[in-house]
């Protein structure tokens, strides 16, 4: 057996171990329970699961997906999450190698997996995942400049677009307060404060970038932090703006706050360009699923987070090809020239 195969097996098994922990998060976070204590236990007989019955994948297969003590059946989701996490960790490792960027992407993927399964089951995305994830994405961007490889022109376009979107959303809110003659509540005040602080932080990064020599060692770190903040505000702002428009058209809440924060997370890790493409790709998959659910359950509301995740992953790997194809359809871009 070659060394590469052994490494691949090790990475896959490491992913399944992380997947086992993600299962705990998927079950407990929606219930506001601790993900540390108590130890893993059967939800029926409440007995603690011994370590040898908690080995990723193997224990599920050996026990036939049942509790050793009361023989109650476990959800197949436990096996699926462990296997899926192992596969995506391995896939990203093979594509990017074992680098700091890969480790950051593994963190992001873990957030995606939790958000996807929780949203499908409960139609919520826990703040511990979305808000915590966007904070971690920004911190990792400050430490790993390789997360944001973007040209100066693209960064400038993203900055301008982000500021237009954010200011437009704030103005719409102010107009809403004026039209309905109401004062901002505590939640509104916290939201405004956070947005203003993030804008101030991004302005600070832009100010430093304009005055620091690009040859300085600190320059790429500040630039990566700047790109992360732009992506965070752009991603969250775009889908928030779409939600405001939907609220006016449908006269009810059309976009959950969890989706807004999930898009902000994506922007923090991947930048504004991936967030932009995700914004347009996700609705295609969401619409197909929504029509099927409408026929099946007569309910028009869907879990949108999983389709944002799908759109994000497609944008990461196929973004350039998708943009080239779309522009080619309108004669804007011809790869043969």
pLDDT for 335 equals 47
pLDDT for 270 equals 95
Stretch 169-179: mean pLDDT = 81
Q: Rounded to an integer, what is the distance from CA 323 to the centroid of its chain?
A: 21
pLDDT for 58 equals 93
Spatial CA neighbour of 275 closest among 226, 239, 243, 235: 235
pLDDT for 249 equals 66
Planar angle of CA 319, 285, 271, nearest 5 degrees: 35
Predicted confidence band of residue 137 (pLDDT cuts 50, 70, 90): very high
Which of 131-135, 253-257, 264-268, 279-283 is the least confident region? 253-257
What is the 3-state secondary structure of 143-184?
A: HCHHHCCCCHHHHHHHHHHHHHHHHHHHHHHHHHHHHCCCCC
- φ, ψ of residue 147 in degrees (nearest 5): -70, -30
pLDDT for 300 equals 66
Q: With 50 as the cut, is the pLDDT of residue 122 above it?
A: yes
Give the pLDDT confidence of 264-305 residue by residue, as tens digits: 999 999 999 999 999 989 988 888 887 777 777 776 678 889
Query: From CA 138, how far away is CA 104, in angstroms rounded?
Result: 11
Stretch 238-255: mean pLDDT = 73
Give the pLDDT confidence of 100-115 residue by residue, as tens digits: 999 999 999 999 999 9
Q: Rounded to an integer, what is the distance from CA 238 to the centroid of its chain?
A: 15
**Mean pLDDT score across all residues of the chain:** 88
Query: From CA 244, how far away is CA 169, in angstroms rounded?
Result: 8
Stretch 123-127: mean pLDDT = 92
pLDDT for 243 equals 78
Q: Do residues 81 and 19 make contact, with C-beta atoms less than 8 angstroms apart?
A: yes
Query: From CA 233, how far away is CA 251, in angstroms rounded?
Result: 25
Q: With 70 as the cut, is the pLDDT of residue 333 above it?
A: no
Q: With 80 as the cut, is the pLDDT of residue 130 above it?
A: yes
Predicted confidence band of residue 337 (pLDDT cuts 50, 70, 90): very low
Predicted confidence band of residue 140 (pLDDT cuts 50, 70, 90): very high
pTM above 0.85, yes or no: yes
Q: With 70 as the cut, is the pLDDT of residue 328 above it?
A: no
Stretch 216-228: mean pLDDT = 95
Q: Do residues 45 and 36 make contact, with C-beta atoms less than 8 angstroms apart?
A: no
pLDDT for 184 equals 78
Give the pLDDT confidence of 150-166 residue by residue, as tens digits: 888 889 999 999 999 99
């Amino acid at each position: 057996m070659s060394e590469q195969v052994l490494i691949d097996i090790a990475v896959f098994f490491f992913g399944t171990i992380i997947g086992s922990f993600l299962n705990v998060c998927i079950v407990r976070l929606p219930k506001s329970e601790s993900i540390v204590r108590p130890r893993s236990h059967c939800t029926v007989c409440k007995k603690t699961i011994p370590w040898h019955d908690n080995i990723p994948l193997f224990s599920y297969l050996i026990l036939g997906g049942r509790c050793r003590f009361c023989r109650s059946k476990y959800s197949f989701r436990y096996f699926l999450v462990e296997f899926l996490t192992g596969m995506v960790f391995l896939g990203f490792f093979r594509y990017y190698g074992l680098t700091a960027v890969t480790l950051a992407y593994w963190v992001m993927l873990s957030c995606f997996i939790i958000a996807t399964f929780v949203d499908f089951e409960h139609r919520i995305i826990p703040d511990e995942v979305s808000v915590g994830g966007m904070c971690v994405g920004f911190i990792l961007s400050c430490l790993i400049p390789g997360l944001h490889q973007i040209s100066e022109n693209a960064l400038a376009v993203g900055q301008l677009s982000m500021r237009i979107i954010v200011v437009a959303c704030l103005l719409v809110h102010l107009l809403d307060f004026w039209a309905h003659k109401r004062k901002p509540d505590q939640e509104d005040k916290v939201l405004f404060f956070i947005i203003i602080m993030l804008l101030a932080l991004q302005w600070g990064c832009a100010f430093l970038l304009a005055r620091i020599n690009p040859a300085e060692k600190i320059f790429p770190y500040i630039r990566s932090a700047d790109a992360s903040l732009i992506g965070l505000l752009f991603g969250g702002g775009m889908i928030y703006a779409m939600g405001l428009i939907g609220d006016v058209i449908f006269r009810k809440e059309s976009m959950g706050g969890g989706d807004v924060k999930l898009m902000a997370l994506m922007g923090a890790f991947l930048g504004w360009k991936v967030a932009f493409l995700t914004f347009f790709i996700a609705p295609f998959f969401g619409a197909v699923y929504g029509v099927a659910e409408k026929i099946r359950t007569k309910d028009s509301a869907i879990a949108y987070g999983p389709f944002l995740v799908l759109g994000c992953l497609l944008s990461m790997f196929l973004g350039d090809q998708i943009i080239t194809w779309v522009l080619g359809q309108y004669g804007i871009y011809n790869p043969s020239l």
